[in-house]
Amino acid sequence: MRASKRHSKRQVKIDEPTHLHGPATDTQRNSQANSTTNSGGAGHSQPTGVAGAFQRQYYPHWVIIGLIALLLTVGYQRWDLVIGFARELREHPWKFVGRCPSLHQRIPWGATIDRRSNLTLEEFRRVYDAQRPVLITDVLQDWGAMRWDADFFLSQYGKQRVVMKAVEGTLDQAEGFSLPLERFIAHRHQSSPHHWTYVEDELLVPHTAELKKDIGSCPYLEEDFFKLFPQEIRPWDAMLLWGTKYSRSSLHIDPYNWTGTNAVIKGVKQWKLYPPGQDEHLYILPDRMSGFPLKSYKYNSPVDAFDPDLNRYPNFVKAEAVEFTQYPGELLIIPTGWFHQAYNTEETIAVSGQVMNRANYRMVLEEIFKAGNVNVESLPSSFSDMAPVDQVRTVMEAIPQSILDEGRRVTELALNQVKSRSHEHTRSTVDV
């Protein structure tokens, strides 16, 4: 639940699971997807019917494919070619998606994810950034974080308080706690399918210099416009995710609809990623806000994709996901607009982050506008002609002082909460 995370960044909102966040409602998410292709500046995107747009766009390709198949079978009796093509499409659907720009967001059944090494920045931007998820396999090896394990945390940071989610039953019964990390470590082997715990803490790593420096760089994520945000409202950028076997996030889109990253240090994660345009099958909880000082809609599904209650959520069977496993040393980059949920099949330590760059900044700004943080009318008329960085700077300058003040207050509160030893356990409900 990165949910609280990124924005929350400042508030150790124990009552709001840090990952559970989710990004936008149907129309909103759909509009994000739409704005990927929108040439207008932020604030000019059209928040309507992106799902329909995708369907309209991909339909002609299937007509063409069908005609070719008909020609080959009827005209030339080449069943072998047709069967070979169908097999290839089933086994390597990404290949076909990659060749059809309008299909980028529409994933055929059985699709899985590309694992890439030696990827150039140019190819990352052209093929993946804000379009398709990707697992990068050759970046984390240089990160100091790869040495992190239970002994390391226990000896160095056992007394530090962290935010943890605990479930007895189903995901929607999650409760939040703040407790010393050593208590989680001591009990981390005690889990079962309906009894598990998950440290989802966004403050420990960013506020501990030695841990922070263990988070290395990634050539594809260097451009990050979040660095232009005033400190008070800038999302924390390294959430510690340490879960027992069976632990999981909620099904959500990240705050501000940013591009998310997830680095697995130890353990194994299973993922379900839902391409945009399927909100109607995901039962997105409407009109929910993150609670961050820089407001953002929260796009969360109440469905646990790894244990769906189909009596309550029957349409969920229609949702198509890209499913895959992530191993230690792999960095996942999740495009803006994709609902996602992770499931730790064994005890797993990971770090998540986010990025706002040339590929997704319009969607992020759109979320900031939608949530009513900035008076869009007050932006200069030249706004949509400005370079991306200038647009971001201009919006940041338009953030009201009251939001910055609130950001400062909430940040201090969160840090004090983390430092406080007055309560061994602080408990509250987790809002999936």
Ligand X SMILES: O=C(O)CCC(=O)C(=O)O
Interface residues with ligand X (CB under 6 A)? 2, 5, 19, 239, 241, 249, 254, 260, 262, 269, 340, 342, 350, 352
Please report how close the Cβ of residue 254 comes to ligand X at its closest, in angstroms: 5
What is the layout of strands, in order, in the sheet containing 251-252?
Answer: 300-301, 251-252, 339-344, 269-274, 322-326
Nearer to ligand X, 262 or 391 (CB): 262
Nearer to ligand X, 40 or 193 (CB): 193
Q: Taking CB positions, which residue lies at the least distance from ligand X?
A: 2
Please report how close the Cβ of residue 337 comes to ligand X at its closest, in angstroms: 13
CB 140 within 8 A of CB 216: yes
Nearer to ligand X, 240 or 410 (CB): 240
Nearer to ligand X, 191 or 391 (CB): 191
Phi and psi angles of residue 334, each rounded to the nearest 5 degrees, phi first = -105, 120
CA distances 142 to 89, 121, 239, 264, 349, Å, are: 36, 18, 19, 13, 17
Structure tokens at 33: 């997807």
Please report how close the Cβ of residue 24 comes to ligand X at its closest, in angstroms: 14
Phi and psi angles of residue 377, each rounded to the nearest 5 degrees, phi first = -60, -25
Please report how close the Cβ of residue 332 comes to ligand X at its closest, in angstroms: 9
Nearer to ligand X, 262 or 394 (CB): 262
Nearer to ligand X, 153 or 271 (CB): 271
272 forms beta bridges with 323, 341
Please report how close the Cβ of residue 334 comes to ligand X at its closest, in angstroms: 7
Phi and psi angles of residue 178, each rounded to the nearest 5 degrees, phi first = -120, 125
How far is it, in rounded angstroms, from Cα 423 to Cα 427?
A: 10
CB 387 within 8 A of CB 41: no
Nearer to ligand X, 265 or 350 (CB): 350
How far is it, in rounded angstroms, from Cα 429 to Cα 406?
A: 23
Please report how close the Cβ of residue 67 comes to ligand X at its closest, in angstroms: 41
Nearer to ligand X, 111 or 273 (CB): 273
Nearer to ligand X, 257 or 391 (CB): 257
Please report how close the Cβ of residue 20 comes to ligand X at its closest, in angstroms: 9
Dihedral sign of CA atoms 188, 149, 204, 324 in order: negative
Q: Coil, strand or helix: which one is 270? A: strand
Residue of 348, 185, 353 lying closest to 269 (CA atoms): 348
Please report how close the Cβ of residue 348 comes to ligand X at its closest, in angstroms: 8
CB 281 within 8 A of CB 371: no
Exposed, middle or buried, 323 (CB in 10 Å: 0-12/13-18/19+)?
Answer: middle
Dihedral sign of CA atoms 209, 212, 213, 219 in order: negative
How far is it, in rounded angstroms, from Cα 337 to Cα 28?
A: 9
Please report how close the Cβ of residue 431 comes to ligand X at its closest, in angstroms: 15
